[in-house]
Amino acid sequence: MFLLRLFSRLPLPVLYLFSDVLYLIARFIIRYRKKVIDENLKFAFPEKSERERKDIRNKFYRNFTDAFFAETFKMLTISEKELKKRFHVVNQELVDAPVLGGKSSLMMAGHIFNWEMAILGVASNTQVMAETIYLKLNNAFFNKMMLEIRTRLGVS
**Cβ-contact 96, 128 below 8 angstroms:** yes
Residue 87 pLDDT: 85
75 within 8 A of 115, measured Cβ to Cβ: no
Convert the pLDDT of each residue in 131-153 to its tens digit.
Answer: 777 788 899 998 888 888 888 76
pLDDT of residue 99: 92
| pLDDT, tens digit, 9 for 90 and up, residues 30-49 | 989 999 999 999 999 999 99
Residues of the chain predicted below pLDDT 50: none
**Cα-based distances in Å from 9 to 55, 77, 78, 123:** 32, 6, 8, 21
The model's pTM is: 0.76
**CB neighbour class for 26 (10 Å; exposed up to 12, middle 13-18, buried from 19):** buried
Please say whether the beta carbons of 128 and 100 come within 8 A. Answer: yes
